Structure 1
Amino acid sequence: MSKKGIVRNISLMLAAVLGTVNLGGCGEEASSDRAEVEMVCYKPEAVKAFEKIEARFNETHDDIHLTISSPNEAMTILKTRFIREDYPDIIGIGGDSNYSNFLDADLFLDISELEELEQVKKSYLQMDKELEFVPQEGAYALPYAANAAGVLYNKEMFQKYGWEIPETWEEFMTLCNEIQSCGIQPLYFGFKDTWTCLAPWNALAVGLADSDICSQVNREETTFKEAYRETAEKIKALLPYAEENPYAYSYNDACTAFARGESAMYPIGSYAIPQIKSVNPDMKIDSFVFPANDSEKENVLNSGIDLQFCVMKNTEQKEAVYEVLRFLYEDEVIQIYLEDQGGIACKEGDFSIPSELTGMREYIRNDRMADFQDHHYPSEMSVDAMIQTYLLDESDNSADKFLKRFDTEWKRYNRDLIRKVQEYEKGMEDAQ
Structure 2
Amino acid sequence: MKYLRSIISVLLVVVMVFGLSAVGFAQEVELEFFQNKREAVETFDRLIEKFEKENPDINIEQNHVPDAETVLKSRLTRNNIPDIMGLGGNFTYGQIADAGILENFDDASYLTSTQTAYREMLQDLHEGNSNYGIPFTANANTVLYNKDKFDELGLDIPQTWDEFIETAETIQENDGTPFYLTFKDAWTIMVPWNSLAANLQGENFIQRRKDNEVTFKENYKKVAERIYELLDYGQDDVFGFGYSQGNQAFANGESFMYIQGVWAINPILESNPDLNLGAFALSAVNDAAENMLVSGVDTVLTMNKNTDHPEAAEKFIKFLLEEENAQFYIDQQMTFSSVENVFQEDPTVVDLKEYFETGNIAPFPDHYYPSGMQVPNLIQGFLHEGNVEEFLEELDSEWNKVQSR
Supply the RMSD in Å over aligned alpha carbons.
Answer: 2.4
User: Equivalent residue for 1:138?
Assistant: 130
Residues 1:60 and 2:54 are matched in the alignment: yes
Mean Cα deviation higher: 112-121 or 208-217: 208-217
Residues 1:225 and 2:217 are matched in the alignment: yes
User: Equivalent residue for 2:64?
Assistant: 71
Q: Is the 8 A contact 2:176 2:255 kept in 1?
A: yes
Residues 1:47 and 2:41 are matched in the alignment: yes
SS class of match (1:50) = helix
Q: 1:409 aligns with which of 388, 398, 401?
A: 398
For residues 306-341 of structure 1, give each alpha carbon's deviation from its aligned partner in whole angstroms, at most 9, with x where no partner exists: 211112222355444433322221111112322332
Output aligned runs, 1:141-220, within 5 Å: 141-210=133-202, 212-220=204-212
User: Equivalent residue for 2:120?
Assistant: 126
Give the partner amino acid of 1:71: H
User: Equivalent residue for 1:117?
Assistant: 111
Residues 1:373 and 2:365 are matched in the alignment: yes
Partners of 1:374 and 1:294 lie apart in 2 by 23
Partners of 1:88 and 1:244 lie apart in 2 by 44
Q: Is the 8 A contact 2:87 2:93 kept in 1?
A: yes
Partners of 2:74 and 2:182 lie apart in 1 by 34
Partners of 1:156 and 1:87 lie apart in 2 by 49
Residues 1:93 and 2:82 are matched in the alignment: no
User: Equivalent residue for 1:430?
Assistant: none
Partners of 1:100 and 1:358 lie apart in 2 by 32
Q: In the TM superposition, what is the alpha-carbon distance from 1:208 to its structure 2 partner?
A: 1.4
Q: In the TM superposition, what is the alpha-carbon distance from 1:156 to its structure 2 partner?
A: 0.7
Give the partner amino acid of 1:155: K
Q: In the TM superposition, what is the alpha-carbon distance from 1:144 to its structure 2 partner?
A: 0.7
Output aligned runs, 1:223-302, within 5 Å: 223-302=215-294
Q: Structure 2: which 5+ runs fail to align?
A: 1-23
Q: Is the 8 A contact 2:58 2:312 kept in 1?
A: no
Q: Structure 1: which 5+ runs fail to align?
A: 1-29, 417-432
For residues 330-368 of structure 1, give each alpha carbon's deviation from its aligned partner in whole angstroms, at most 9, with x where no partner exists: 111112322332211111214234332222122134443
Give the partner amino acid of 2:389: D
Mean Cα deviation higher: 113-122 or 100-109: 113-122
Q: Is the 8 A contact 1:211 1:370 kept in 2?
A: no
For residues 155-177 of structure 1, give each alpha carbon's deviation from its aligned partner in whole angstroms, at most 9, with x where no partner exists: 11112222111111122122222
Residues 211/255 of structure 1: CA separation in 2 closer, same or farther (3 Å cut): farther
For residues 257-292 of structure 1, give each alpha carbon's deviation from its aligned partner in whole angstroms, at most 9, with x where no partner exists: 322222211111122223323432311110111111
User: Equivalent residue for 2:14?
Assistant: none
Q: In the TM superposition, what is the alpha-carbon distance from 1:408 to its structure 2 partner?
A: 0.6
Q: Which runs of 4+ in 1 moved over 6 A?
A: none
Q: Is the 8 A contact 1:50 1:68 kept in 2?
A: no
- Identity between Structure 1 and Structure 2 (%): 34
Partners of 2:273 and 2:85 lie apart in 1 by 34
SS class of match (1:246) = coil
Partners of 1:90 and 1:414 lie apart in 2 by 30
TM-score, normalised to structure 1, is 0.81
Residues 384/81 of structure 1: CA separation in 2 closer, same or farther (3 Å cut): closer
